Structure 1
Amino acid sequence: MRRSYIWAGLVTVVIAGWLASGYLLPSPPAPSADGTGKAETDKDTSQAFRVRTATLTAQEHTEELVLPGQTEADQRVEVRARTGGIVEKVPHREGDRVEAGAVLCQLDIAERTAALAQARAQLASAQRDFEAAQQLASKKYTSESQLASARAAFDAAQAEVDRIERDIAYTTVTSPIAGIVESRPADLGSFLQVGQACATVTVLDPIVVSAQVSERDVEALSLGMAGSARLVDGQTVEGRLAFISPRADSETRTFRIELDAPNRDERIRAGITARLVLPLKPRSAHRIPSSALTLDERGRVGVMTVDAGGTARFMPLEILAETREGLWVAGLPETVTLITVGQDYVLDGQPVETVPSVLGANTTPAGGLVEAN
């Protein structure tokens, strides 16, 4: 219990010493004109408060547009059967790398081979009948209609052979692109119907990082601009903006964008959460400690500054970015004297007495101000 009294006494002494130092308190009032020593009782705006200030110069700051996104495959193709049949071979497993033209599914062709042989025999017979009809027609021993019928039978037999040969070719289902077999729903011995997927092949190089950008920010983007993406697993990739949707989503009113990044070893997979970072055009800005922010009587966010005549002036600003070192803001003059301590105790147009201070390279979260000794 005695220790708590000691701490309370120390805190009281510290506060009393701080108030006695003169910061954040008005300068001593001047004696009255009648010499009685009584203080003037003018409004607060006529009193010169002592405040700490720092002189800041604008710097070139590059804004960054940070968007949540995810990785996607550059291409993803579901390879479907163009004819039906029993799956006889599946040369590749899920995860295998395949080249364009690689066989993904081979269907049984036994019945089709027999049908082709029969169709070719019928074609040969139709060809002989057509040739005989031509000879008879040249000697006027047959009519033109009989010759036309023979030609039609020959053409139909030829079309049937072509159809079966094409159908046999379709029994070999190949990959149209080089990539990785993502899935293979067709199993050995299963019946694959027309239009059913044999396998899905994906291309991961380049890897695509997609995101949605707002209507306000989309105009600041352009195709080919550099960007980067930090993945949830800690990896960082760099690339260029390859796509900006020309049409907003009807529900979210946002625009889809895509960043293409090299992924030669294909270690980055599709579907990973990412944070897309796009540097925008540089602009003139100041870096200030967050503790310097204040509000005016209209509720606007800004800072208190000191003009050349030693008068406090409120200046609204735009916050561009927040970092561990402080805030990047726009809207201030090229060079400005910023009130860093005491801005909440002075009014716009009030004279102040300034005590210069410096801002450290690493401002602290609590106030961001390192005072000069």
Structure 2
Amino acid sequence: MRILAKKPYLLAIILSVSLVVWLVSGQFNKASASRENTEKTPATLLKAEPLNVRVREQQAEPTTRELVLSGRTAPLRVSKLRAEIEARVIELPVERGERVKQGDIIAKLAVNDRPQRITQAQALVKQYEADYAAKKDLANKGYQAQLNLTEVLASLESAKAQLKQAQIALENTVIRAPFDGMLETRPIEIGDYVGIGDAIAEVVDESKFLILTDVTELERTQLKVGMSVNVMLITGQIVTGKIRLAALQATTATRTFAIEIEIPNPDKKLVAGMSATLNIATDNVMAHQVSSSLLVLDDSGVLGVKAVNDKNQVVFYPAKFARANATGIWLTELPEKIRFITVGQGFVRAGDEVIPVPEDQISKL
């Protein structure tokens, strides 16, 4: 002790060596214990036992593949009426929102001196007709040159053209409905002065409506003009229509194709802009009807279903939809006979070995 008191560095050395020996002995003991535990663990305990899953065996059935789309209503025809002459509005017999028949008067414009122009043009035509007849008779007798006869004929045709223009201008003072429909807009009032091309009214055809939608390149290949379409409107009303247009060119911005479906509107209740769901039967395929609760995502985020093969291994099938409604969904491109996992699909992965338990056996227990 006196030596350690005189030489304290010896005490530090002894303590350091003791600490190192203690640490080394601890690691050695841990390694030995780990080897002993590994040697004592049976190899069979490292392998997990197969899980029980409930399965339902099912046979594919023929069904109709359906294309489900969303669309909106639009009128079949909309006519924007414009003035073809310059005149003042003197009469508006139809109000906005009223229904009109083809040929009904929507607006009248002032005739001004147009009747007098017609009378003047008619007189001029008669004058040239008489002049032409006289000179033609003289030309046949050899007293009149053929050149003079041609000039009179040209003047007669010009007078007839002026008469026709005057008659059309008078007719254009009355603006009529081009077809049966409803007067949607009328931006003019009595006393307004309109010029050529000014808006007079807009008439909407109510007899038929369109459903407008857009489809992808793949969906476009399944559609053609004349195909029947079941349409469910947002009001719950169900109507049947036909495809009247399937565009041949995609829009530049969206790379989609425009589709138009024509539907009847006998009760005049449809309005433009209503949402609609379209169901279009495309072809017949073999498919399995399942509940949407069977759909799961795999590790890659792909939606599909899990089944058990003949080796009692889990198989994942990506979902290929044929149709869907309130009662379930129909999946295609699956084996004709398959065992769907109905309970436990969330606890197993593709390739796992499982113990399949049929649903009918569980119901008998």
Instruction: Verify same fold: TM over 0.5.
Output: yes
Is 2:229 aligned against 1:227? yes
- The structure whose Rg is larger is 2
Residue in 1 aligned with 2:266? 264
Question: Residue 229 of structure 1 contacts residue 237 of structure 1 at CA under 8 Å; is this kept in 2?
Answer: yes
Displacement of 1:279 in angstroms is 3.1
Residue in 1 aligned with 2:182? 180
Displacement of 1:232 in angstroms is 2.8
Provide the rounded CA distance (Å) in 1 between the counterparts of 2:162 and 2:332: 77
Residue in 1 aligned with 2:47? 44
Task: Please say which of residues 287-296 and 173-182 is displaced more in the overlay.
Answer: 287-296
Alignment of 1:285-364 (within 5 A): 285-294=287-296, 301-309=303-311, 311-320=312-321, 327-346=329-348, 348=350, 350-357=352-359
Question: Residue 58 of structure 2 contacts residue 338 of structure 2 at CA under 8 Å; is this kept in 1?
Answer: yes
Question: Residue 314 of structure 2 contacts residue 353 of structure 2 at CA under 8 Å; is this kept in 1?
Answer: no
Query: Which of 269, 273, 276 lines up with 1:274 in the alignment?
Result: 276
Query: Which of 245, 248, 266 lines up with 2:250 in the alignment?
Result: 248
Displacement of 1:210 in angstroms is 0.9
**SS of aligned partner of 1:110:** coil
Provide the rounded CA distance (Å) in 1 between the counterparts of 2:52 and 2:140: 123
Question: Residue 213 of structure 1 contacts residue 256 of structure 1 at CA under 8 Å; is this kept in 2?
Answer: yes
Question: Residue 211 of structure 1 contacts residue 276 of structure 1 at CA under 8 Å; is this kept in 2?
Answer: no
Cα deviation, 1:63-92, whole Å, max 9, x if unaligned, reads: 432322211111111122332222232232
Residue in 1 aligned with 2:9? none
Alignment of 1:1-373 (within 5 A): 41=44, 44=47, 47-127=49-129, 130=132, 150-294=152-296, 301-309=303-311, 311-320=312-321, 327-346=329-348, 348=350, 350-357=352-359, 373=365
Percentage of pairs with the same residue: 29
Cα deviation, 1:287-340, whole Å, max 9, x if unaligned, reads: 34455455666665544433344x223132324266565553333322222333
Cα deviation, 1:10-35, whole Å, max 9, x if unaligned, reads: xxxxxxxxxxxxxxxxxxxxxxxxxx
Displacement of 1:213 in angstroms is 0.9
Displacement of 1:154 in angstroms is 4.3
Name the CA shift for 1:69/1:342 in 2 (closer, same or farther; >3 Å).
closer
**SS of aligned partner of 2:44:** coil
**SS of aligned partner of 2:278:** strand
| Unpaired runs of at least 5, structure 1 | 1-37, 360-369
Provide the rounded CA distance (Å) in 1 between the counterparts of 2:290 and 2:139: 103
Letter in 2 for 1:203: D
Name the CA shift for 1:347/1:74 in 2 (closer, same or farther; >3 Å).
closer
Provide the rounded CA distance (Å) in 2 between the counterparts of 1:334 and 1:218: 28
Letter in 2 for 1:270: A
**SS of aligned partner of 2:85:** coil
| Unpaired runs of at least 5, structure 2 | 1-40
Task: Please say which of residues 172-181 and 293-302 is displaced more in the overlay.
Answer: 293-302
Name the CA shift for 1:157/1:333 in 2 (closer, same or farther; >3 Å).
closer
Tell me the matched-pair count. 324
Name the CA shift for 1:371/1:332 in 2 (closer, same or farther; >3 Å).
farther
Letter in 2 for 1:272: M
Task: Please say which of residues 233-242 and 125-134 is displaced more in the overlay.
Answer: 125-134
Cα deviation, 1:240-284, whole Å, max 9, x if unaligned, reads: 222211111111111111111111121111222222232332322
Q: Please, what TM-score do these two structures have when normalized by structure 1?
A: 0.73
